[in-house]
Amino acid sequence: MSIHALYGFFSAKMLPLLWAFLGIGVLITIHECGHFVFCKLFGVHTPTFSIGFGPEIFRKKIGTTNFRLAAIPLGGYVEIAGHAEVGQGDQEFASVVGPESFESKSYWQKILVMSGGSFLTLFSPF
């Protein structure tokens, strides 16, 4: 296969796929930021903010949150203290109680934290 044919294949077949992955990754990041912003606004502890799944590529702790980037950008999560999610594996902070716990917040705050991802995704410029 010549370089010209390889370039044609890449630009016609692979480049749109890479753009799609990038777009989905951006939407997931915006969505998870919605949950994160409302958690921070209401004083809920967020130990982990992750974009992607699979092997970890990058991790940086800022304040009390570990920001994580994983190899496959088709998912993400914000770990919320005091809120257990089924099927999310080991959740170290799921049973936390206290003023920084999700469970200690009022119903309207819980609703905003849970729907914050959808709000930010719907009203984002992307």
**Model pLDDT, residue 19:** 86
Q: Which long-range contacts (CB under 8 A, 24 or more apart) does 115-122 make?
A: 116/34, 116/35, 116/36, 116/37, 116/38, 116/39, 117/31, 117/32, 117/33, 117/34, 117/35, 118/31, 118/34, 119/34, 120/30, 120/31, 120/33, 120/34, 120/37, 121/27, 121/30, 121/31, 121/34
pLDDT in tens, 90-109: 667 766 778 899 989 999 99
pLDDT in tens, 11-29: 777 788 888 888 888 899 9
Catalytic site positions: 32
pTM of the predicted protein model: 0.82
